[in-house]
Every structure is written in C-alpha cells, then in structure tokens.
Amino acid sequence: MVNEFLPIGVLIILAVALAIVVPTLGYLFGPRRYVPAKSRPYESGMTPFGPGTRRVSVRYYMIAVLFILFDVEVVFFLPWAVVFKELGVPALIEMGLFALVVVVGLVYAWKKGALEWE
Amino acid sequence: MTLDFTPILPFMIVAGAALALLVLDLFWPVRLKWLTPLLAAASLLAALVVELGQANYLRAGLSNMVIIDNFSVFANAIFICSGIAAIALAYDYIQRTGINHGEYYVLMLFSISGMLLMSTAADLIIVFLALELLSVPLYVLTGFARPRLDSEEAALKYFLLGAFSSGVLLYGIALLYGATSYTSLHGILSAVSRGTADMPLVVVGAAFLLVGVAFKGGVVPFHMWAPDVYQGAPTSVTGFMSVGAKAAGFVALLRIFVVAFPPVAVELTSVMNFLASLTMLIGNIAAIGQRNIKRMLAYSGIAQAGYMLMAFVPFGNKAIINDSVASMIFYLAVYAIASFGAWAVVVAVEQAEGRGLDIDDYAGLGRRYPLLGVAMLIFMLSFIGLPPTLGFWGKFYLFRSVIEGNYIVLALVGMLASLISAYYYLRVVVMMFLHDGANITVRRNWLLSGLVGVSALAVLLLGLMPGPLFQMAADALLRL
C-alpha cells in the first residue's frame, strides 16, 4: 500500500522543494536592476493601454463553451480508439450515435449564430 | 458485445425526437412552428405505445446496465403521460407570455428521456446519467422566461443547488464503489450479502444517495429550493417539474433502495422515518402561511413527497415491500393526475406579467366559472385525500402499507398532517366560491380546458373504481 504511493510522495516532495529552492537561489544570487518598464502591468508583452478596470466583452465565452464541448468529446474518443479492435462494429455504431448527438449540438449552435463574432 | 436497443426503445424514441426537433425547429419557417409541439406529443404517444407493449417483458439489456420490468413500465407511463399533459399545459401559456421558442418542447423531451432512463437504471452510473439528463433541461426551462428576473434567479438557485446535490450523489456512488467494488445494484447487493463489503462505507454511501435523490423529490430538509424555484419558473414548467422531477426522484429511490440496500435497512429505516414525518409536517405547516398559489402548491408538493416517503420506510421488510412499492407508485399516479389538473387551473387563471397568482385573486372565480371552481374543488379534495376522489384511495393504500409495517406513530403523524392540509387546500376553494373579488378573466383554451376536464373526470371516475389502476400498480413489481 505504502510502496505503491511512494513515488507519488517523492514527486510531491521534490516539486515543493524545487518550488522553494529555485526562487530562493534567484533571490540570493540574482542581480537586481530596477527600470520603469519592469513595474508596469504585464499585458502579453504589449505596451499597456487604457484603464485596467474597463469592461471586457464576454462574447468569447460562447466559443469557450463550444471548445470545452468538443474537447470533452475527444477525451471520450481516445479510450475508445485504443480498444477499438476488440470492441468492433457495435462500438463503432455507439460512437457514431455519440458523435451524432454532439454534431446536432454544433449544428444548433452554428445556426443560432454562436459562431458569429459580430 | 451485441447491440440491442429494444429495452430502451421508448427512451430512444423520445431522445431521438428531441434531437430531430432541435434541428428541424431551426430550419422550418415561423408559420410551421406549431409542428414542434405536435411532433413532440406524437413522439411521446409513440413512446407510450412501445412502453405499454413492453408490459410483462422482463429482461436486462445493454450489458445489464438497464432492466425492464413492470415497475419501469408503470413509472414510464406516468412520465410519458405527464409529458403529454405538460405540452397541453404549455402550448397556450408560452405563446401568451412571449416565450414561444421550439426549444421549450425539445428541452422537455430531453428531460422526459432522462426520466425514462431513470426508471430502468440497474446501475448507479446510469442513475447518475439519467438524473443529470432530466435535471439539466429543467434548469434551462426554469430560466426560460429570461429576462424576467425571478425566472433567472430561480434557474440559478436550482442549478447551483441541483449541481451540489448531484455532487453528493456522485460522492455516494464513489463510496459504494469503494466499499463493494461494484456500481451495479445487484453487484452491491451481492457484495454486501457475501460480507466482502466495507459496511460502514456502504451505509454512508447509501445515505449520500438518499440525500441526492431526496433533493430531487423535495424532501425536507432538502426542500428549500422548491418554493422559490416553483414560484420563479414559468407556471407551465412548474407543473411539469412538480410531477416529473418529483416522480423521477422517487422512482430512483425505490429502485436503488429496494434492490440494493435491504441489508442496510436497519441503519436507514429510522432516518427515513424521521425524514418522512418531518417532510409531512413542515410541508403542510409551511403551506398554511403562503399567499401565492405557486408557493402554496410547492409546499403541498413537499408534503405529498412526505406521504410517499412514508410508504417507503419499511423498505427492508421483504414481506410487505411489494405492497409498499405498489401503494407508493399508485400514489405517484394519483398525485400526478390531481397535480396537473391544479396546475392547469393556475395556468388558466394567471394573468399577464405574473398577476393573478395570489390566492386572493381567486376570489369569486368559482361563481363566475362554476366548472373551473368545481374542478379545483375536486383536485383539492384529492390532495387532502377525501372520498370520493382518487386521492382518498391513494392515502388509503399508503396508510395501509405503513400500518402493515407496524409504524403506527408514523401513520398518526401522516393523519395529523393530512388534517392540517385540509385548511390550506380548502381555503382556495372557499376563496373561489364564498368571496367576491376583482374581475379576473380566465383564459379559455381548449387544451387547458381539456386538461382540467380530463384530470377532474379521472380523479372522480377512478375514485369511484380505483381497482384497475391499483391492480396495475400492484402488478408493477420490481424485478429483484
């Protein structure tokens, strides 16, 4: 019981230790040069513009939902593909039904305009 | 591995119709929109025919994940009929409240398909799947009157609490799997009776399952969502929810506990006893103070859940469990009929922008619309359980099975709760006949009138001869 989980325990300890040791080394030995650019908010490397509290369009969330949908679908496809040869044709039909359900969802979302940006 | 979908054919019909209508409704022009409810009702009728054809057809299917017996046939007939009634309830209502989207019927079909799967589930994975399939469309339907704020609020409340209870249920399934290394009901039972299971974990898992399912059925103390959600949801959805979701919860409870958990009955019977008493008393007492008819019917539904749970208390007693199951699903059918009638009256009386929902608004309606008033009287008498209505027989069989199980105190609490309930049920009728009120015009629509009329006649006629319906319920045995 203990032996089975020992590698995971070692991994956790190593991860925590690494997270503590590496920044500490950087803190102790790294040079410190303060320039104005370093204290600016980080915006994906661009020069920041506008106030930080402005409203952001949540339009993207619809795309995100659809992405999750198909992401999860692929998760289900993977184990099926691994044992596909043993399961054979019935599994193919069942997977087809599953894919059909998801595709109907996509058709619905498409027709309803969830994929239109404007 | 072979593919044989015949055991879940009614489910396939309803789910297939939902998928097809979802796409069709997008593509056909506005003048053909009336086809959606028509085809939805037609698919439900087809499913009903197939379902009834499966009577006395005992078998397991889909790698023993589902099981067909007369119990599932009876329960599914209730679900399908409540679906048809819900379409009749909604057709006019969603048009005049401006929420006439085809998705309404599609979501309802999805929810019903979840219920159909629920009653046949022989594996906890299917139970969970079915529960989600029936709940998620209901969350959306609750918020269907968007942007009306109380509808959105109700949907969010229902969703959050529902997701939480699903989590509890899933935790229970995980614990049971951990304790017995099975998720199938028979596997759990055999592991427990072989003595290879970790018993404390099994009890905890069963208790978690009970909590998750009790939430769906609106059992005290997991009922707090019900009044708010029932009030906020569009009335036609509330009617569907108060019958369908509740019935599905109880059907799942019956199947899981009667098949898999008789060995832990010693531990759980007292819990059920307590829950049933609490549900009957709190539901009925809280209903007295309600001014809004939807809230009142919500608390009444909670109280009715208590009565049904009452018959379930002796679930570990092999000698009388068949009687208990029969009286419970008979009561489910009784409750469904009277409930749809009462909700149809509420839908007919409801005015634009949510007015006409207070019990005070019913003043004088009985004099101006005698048939409506008499129908409401019949439904309320049935809820109380007075002869000659069907509700009397429902309560009669319930109390009989409780007394057979030697739970005299519980039966007395049930009687007391029924007495309390007479006050608030009859207040509606008194308001309709003995008070003068503002001139509310009742919506006339043949579907609604038909629903009220058929329900009222069914409650009366079946109340005069309950034998055939009870015989069907008595034949609806669970295959153990």
Q: What is the pLDDT of residues A47-83, one digit of tens each?
A: 777 777 877 777 778 888 888 888 888 898 899 999 9
Angstrom CA distances, B155 to A115, B136, B147, B201, B355, stand at 25, 10, 12, 34, 20
CB pairs under 8 A between A and B: 21
pLDDT at B148: 87
Angstrom CA distances, B433 to B358, B429, B437, stand at 16, 6, 10
Q: How far apart are CA B176 and CA B170, in angstroms?
A: 10
Contacts of B279 (CB under 8 A, 6+ apart): B219, B220, B223, B302, B303, B305, B306, B309
User: Confidence class of residue A37 from pLDDT cuts 50, 70 and 90?
Assistant: confident
Tell me the pLDDT of chain B (480 aa) as tens digits. Answer: 567 888 889 999 999 999 999 999 888 888 888 899 999 999 999 999 999 988 888 888 888 889 988 899 999 999 999 999 999 999 999 988 888 888 999 999 999 999 999 999 999 999 999 999 999 999 999 999 888 899 999 999 999 999 999 999 999 999 999 999 999 999 999 998 888 888 889 999 999 999 999 988 889 888 899 999 999 999 999 999 999 999 999 999 989 998 888 888 888 888 899 999 999 999 999 999 999 999 999 999 999 999 999 888 888 778 888 888 899 999 999 999 999 999 999 999 988 777 888 888 888 888 888 999 999 999 999 999 988 899 999 999 999 999 988 899 999 999 999 999 999 999 999 999 998 877 788 888 889 999 999 999 999 999 998 888 888 888 887 765
Residue B94 in tokens:
């969603």
* Residue of chain A with shortest Cα separation from B2: A90
Q: How far apart are CA B219 and CA B85, in angstroms?
A: 24
Contacts of B25 in chain A (CB under 8 A): none
* Partner residues linked to A43 by β-bridges: A46
Query: Taking CB atoms and an 8 Å limit, are B1 and A108 in contact across chains?
Result: no
Helix B103-120 and helix B35-53: axis angle, to 10°?
10
With respect to residue B71, please indicate whether it lies within any of the assigned structural domains: yes
pLDDT at A2: 66
B22 → closest Cβ in A88, A91, A104: A104
Nearest to B118 by CA among B50, B182, B71: B71
Nearest to B294 by CA among B419, B145, B165, B162: B145
Query: Taking CB atoms and an 8 Å limit, are B22 and A90 in contact across chains?
Result: no
Counted domains in chain B: 1
Entry field: residues in chain B = 480
Can you give the residue range of the structural domain that contains B29? 6-475
ipTM comes to 0.81
Report yes or no: A111 at the B interface, CB cutoff 8 Å.
yes
> How far apart are the two ends of chain A, measured CA to CA in Å?
57
Q: How far apart are CA B256 and CA B263, in angstroms?
A: 12
Nearest to B336 by CA among B148, B77, B29: B77
* Partner residues linked to B292 by β-bridges: B358
Q: With left for phi above 0 and alpha for psi between -120 and 50, is residue B62 left, alpha or beta?
A: left
The count of other CB atoms within 10 Å of the CB of residue A40 is: 10
- Cβ–Cβ under 8 Å, residues B442 and B349: yes
The Cβ-side half-sphere exposure at B192, using a 13 Å CA radius, reads: 23
B2 → closest Cβ in A90, A100, A112: A90
Report yes or no: A104 at the B interface, CB cutoff 8 Å.
yes
* Residue of chain B with shortest Cα separation from A113: B26
pLDDT in tens, A2-24: 678 898 999 999 999 999 999 99
> How far apart are the two ends of chain B, measured CA to CA in Å?
24
With respect to residue B89, please indicate whether it lies within any of the assigned structural domains: yes
**Angle subtended at Cα B267 by Cα B264 and Cα B273, rounded to the nearest 5 degrees:** 115
With respect to residue B159, please indicate whether it lies within any of the assigned structural domains: yes
Contacts of A107 in chain B (CB under 8 A): 23, 26
With respect to residue B480, please indicate whether it lies within any of the assigned structural domains: no
With respect to residue B368, please indicate whether it lies within any of the assigned structural domains: yes
With respect to residue B125, please indicate whether it lies within any of the assigned structural domains: yes
pLDDT at B352: 79
pLDDT at A1: 60
DSSP H stretches of helix in B359-443? 365-368, 370-384, 390-404, 408-434
User: Which residue ranges make up each domain of chain A?
Assistant: 1-30, 59-118
Residue B32 in tokens:
């053909």
> What's at B114, amino acid-wise?
G
pLDDT at A40: 78
Q: Which letter does DSSP use for residue B281 in this model?
A: H
